Structure 1
Amino acid sequence: MTFTNRLGEIAEKEDHHPSILTEWGRVCVTWWTHTVQGLHINDFIIASRTDRLI
């Protein structure tokens, strides 16, 4: 839950909200940009920040 909460704080700060599935012992995060209906460079940047949380 700590990871999910920290990720939520980052998402709020960046105003960029992922799909987050939190299960016992694992979290699946999906970043994509709704306005372009796919991936944008910002998705890769924030995915990198997500990786650094681990």
Structure 2
Amino acid sequence: MPRLDEQRIAELLAGLEGWQRQGDAIVKEFRCGDFSGSVRFVARVAEVADQLNHHPDVEISWDRVRLSLTTHSQGGLTERDFELARRIDELAAE
């Protein structure tokens, strides 16, 4: 999957709520109530990531989870990152 150009990244990012560009990645922080909630959320994200065969970088800190998405093999953002971001947002809304 090819790396996206800056214009396409801006278009796709505009369609995602709360995701921000940081270098060659998009990131978002999720509040999960407590540590157990954070771990459960990450487990649900892991299931989707495995389905898509595309995995985020994850940071857990008690009641929050910070996810960072990039396609390491392409050295930047691809459509896969934005698909995973959309799927993660759907999980968070449940």
TM-score, length-normalised on structure 1?
0.89
Runs of 4+ in 1 over 3 A off after TM superposition: none
Summarize the alignment of residues 15-54 of structure 1 with structure 2, pairs less than 5 Å apart: 15-54=53-92
Q: Percent same amino acid among aligned pairs?
A: 37
Larger radius of gyration: 2
What amino acid does structure 1 have at the position aligned with 2:57? S
Partner of 1:10: 48
Deviations 1:3-41 (A, max 9, x none): 110001111111111101111110000111012100001
Q: CA RMSD in A?
A: 0.9
Larger helix fraction of residues: 1
Of structures 1 and 2, the one scoring higher in RCO (CA 8 A, sep 6+) is 2
TM-score, length-normalised on structure 2?
0.54
Paired residues, number: 54
Structure 2 unaligned regions, length at least 5? 1-38
